[in-house]
Structure 1
């Protein structure tokens, strides 16, 4: 008979997510995961079938959290320019308790070219985010907030790429003024 788990699995995934976010997949050792989650090595392997499985779970958690916030914002009543200011603001001034950068962007760079399973997760997530924003841009255009010649799909891709670029700049040590200047320039599109 298997022993019952004596830990909160979602809390462990959250802690692992932050460890991977800080250091990346390769640089996060099993020992780092044990320290972050408070689990022993055997518990990590018994509960998650190893580092890669735990990483996928952590990445999925990260994507789900970010996508839920984006959906809530895009479904709200703010004008589209204000919605985009919020989205860009998330990249310019993230929660101070969060590691620098973005787990999705970091994973695209580190694992995307060589891990087909993770690359597919990332592709689907990008497609989802672009779709969420595209729908918001279509609604904004129908309300007259955007010029009829503004393509909602192109705008959604542009915002996605700009946010990714801002996250890379932040991870590379860019200061707040540099990030704000990029965001201001991007907002000029709207």
Structure 2
């Protein structure tokens, strides 16, 4: 009979997610992971198999938590444009307030691994598709409430809003002040 695990694998994935999010996949060493989780390398490999397998779990954790958070922000009461502006501002504020300026783990992963890591690429594509679908649904809701013009193509605007978020989250990593981000957010929402 083997020894029972002395750590919570679910908490370990959360800790690993934060390390990968801050440092990126390539720059994260197995030692970084065991230090963050508080386990030995043997336990890391016995439980998760490899650094990449743990990265996949961490990226899935990020995907699931971010999708839920975005949908919850969109489901708050109020006019669509107000909710959209509030959501975009909140994302920018969170990124700017982060002392590590991690940005978005999905955007970071796309920049680092797209085209070289099929699994990571597919996970990011799935995250982006879910976000785009959520924006599309929000545009359609705004059209039903007559807040957004009916001639706006919800799919096109969903794609544009996804692209705006990707750009905002990347810009927030290096922004000195929130001014530029605020201008992008206001111009985007006002153009609807």
Could you tell me the TM-score, scaled by structure 1's length? 0.93
Matched, 1:29 2:20: no
Q: Tell me, in whole angstroms, the C-alpha distance in 2 between the residues paired with 1:174 and 1:91.
A: 16
Contact 1:18/1:99, CA 8 A, preserved across alignment: no
Aligned mate of 1:154, from 153, 156, 174: 156
CA RMSD, 1 decimal: 1.6
Counterpart of 1:184 in structure 2 is: 186
1:20·1:28 contact (CA, 8 Å) conserved in 2? yes
Aligned to 1:51: 51
Q: Please list every run of 5 or more consecutive structure 1 residues that lacks an aligned counterpart in the other structure.
A: none
Larger CA deviation: 172-181 vs 26-35: 172-181
Determine helix, strand or coil for the equivalent of 1:44. Answer: helix
Q: Shift of residue 86 of structure 1?
A: 2.4
In 1, the alpha carbon distance for the partners of 2:188 and 2:100 equals 24
| Cα distance in 2, alignment partners of residues 23 and 104 from structure 1 | 13
Residue deviations 1:133-183, cap 9 Å, x none? 211211220111100111111111111111110111122344322222222
| TM superposition score normalised by structure 2 | 0.92
